[in-house]
Chain A
Amino acid sequence: MGEAIVVTSGKGGVGKTTTSANIGTVLALQGKKVCLVDTDIGLRNLDVVMGLENRIIYDLVDVASGRCKLNQALVKDKRFDCLSMLPAAQTTDKNSVKPDEMKKIIDELKSDFDYVIIDCPAGIERGFRNAVAGADHAIVVTTPEISSVRDADRVIGLLEQEDNITPPRLIINRIRQHMLKKGGMLEIDEIMNILAIDLLGIIVDDDGVISSSNRGEPIALDPSSKAAQAYRNIGRRILGESVPLMAIDEKPGFIQKVKSLLKMR
């Protein structure tokens, strides 16, 4: 029996889908059987990020309404045999699936896979209810912006009211090193002070994330990228290893040290 993990945030555009795709990829890299589930019915894009759009035949709504078997709807990843995806429907909306139907599908997936990663839509309405219905654990994604932290706080409150979900864990996404130094961004400590939940990982903003998403290749496959390393660390933490947080700053070289000394009056 596997575990189902929902990736959520409340606010849109903070990187839920990218995070889901990459967590799925790093767990598959570790040899786990993983299924990604896109619950953003009507606005699906997990398939695009994974580069699997052209392989979709059936979708989540077809499974829920009994038009096909669950196995028929699963799309195998082109890189990993152990990675599959259950795509969302694009032609209807979130009300076409009920939370209990969703729970049944997730339970069925859990018996076949080690990890079921559920990509949650933005918002706290029906789509959110569907996504959390079958989940055992939750990951909340936020960025160092006040609006995103506010929404994450709201979502954590809602997740804490769910009886069958363990306390949510946090990923802080899109940390910009130069802005942290200048103080224009919320600091990690500040975010942790407000949200007061366990930190699963931090991911620095990396241009490679966007370009790799556009190619349909999760960034986690490129080991030279900092974001990829962060995702790999997160994967290992999900598997229960204790991995220290990555340092955000690059180590200053000798010249930079002299420069900073001169700047200090």
Chain B
Amino acid sequence: MSVRQPFVTMKGRKDGLVLVMDETCAFDALIQELKDKLSVNSQLYKEGPVTSVKIQAGNRYISQSQRAELMSIIRSFDRLQVDEIESNVMTREEYDREKSREKLVSVSRIIRSGQVLSVEGDLLLIGDVNPGGIVSATGNVFVLGALRGKATAGVPGNEQNTVIAASIMKPTQLKIGRFMSRTEEDNPIDEMKNDHVMECAYVDFSLEKVVIDRLHTVIRKNNLSLQLTKS
């Protein structure tokens, strides 16, 4: 029997483990070999220092369930944590979803009480959001008008680069990713200066909450790139 190239190659790096996976073998064989290789050092992975693991799958497509399987195997060793699973391949749908997240959807109408407008990507609304109306976007929300209703922007995990901006900012509720705020109560100082013109909401991670500031201050302070057309 000739010596075959191993399906899973483990590389130790300063920042953790990198697992390079063969692209052509069966996925089951890959799983088997991964289990075998990890169990050799199981003592270390169960008690040693916390190590981050990066998986490079190359040109192999990894489905959602396969992804979960890989995760669960690696997580069964207490000291290993999955950093990312990298693959060069994605399905058409995943690509479309990803792509739609980057587009800017512009709508011009008034969102009245009881109406809901939700889009994939950034939302540019030309018109008001009245109390009781809801706008939501998986990206940023920009309102050229008065925001008096509820606005939801971004998805959990991507709060860093997500903002809600409005010509007149008087929302009942704001939600950016997993951070929620009722503006009036959270920002008493904000209530004192009552013009609310050209304001922008973002997540301040040092405070762990949504804060509102003048748009230009936010851009300066956070170095946010408010690009409307990403590529």
Contact = CB atoms under 8 A, between A and B. Distances in A.
A and B bind? yes
Interface of A: 150-151, 153-154, 156-158, 160, 193-194, 196
B132 A150 contact: yes
B106 interface: no
Interface centre among B114, B131, B146, B148 (most CB of A within 10 A): B114
B110 A154 contact: no
Contact of B132 (A154, A158, A160, A193): A154
Interface residues of B, number: 11
A196 B110 contact: yes
A138 to B, nearest CB: 14
B113 interface: yes
B136 interface: no
Contacts of B132: 150, 153-154
Contacts of B138: none
B128 interface: yes
Given A194-B148, A196-B110, A150 B131 contact: yes
Nearest to A151: B113
5 contacts: A150-B131, A150-B132, A151-B113, A153-B130, A194-B130
B112 interface: yes
Interface of B: 110, 112-115, 128, 130-132, 146, 148
Contacts of B114: 154, 157-158
Contact of B113 (A154, A160, A193): A154
B79 to A, nearest CB: 55
A153 B128 CA distance: 12
Contacts of A150: 113, 131-132
A194 B128 CA distance: 8
A194 B131 contact: yes
B166 to A, nearest CB: 14
A194 B113 CA distance: 10
A196 B110 CA distance: 9
Closest 9 CB pairs of A and B: A157-B112, A154-B113, A153-B113, A154-B114, A153-B112, A153-B130, A157-B115, A150-B113, A194-B130
Nearest to A161: B115
A160 B113 CA distance: 12
Contacts of A153: 112-113, 130-132
A150 B112 CA distance: 9
Contacts of B112: 153-154, 156-157, 160
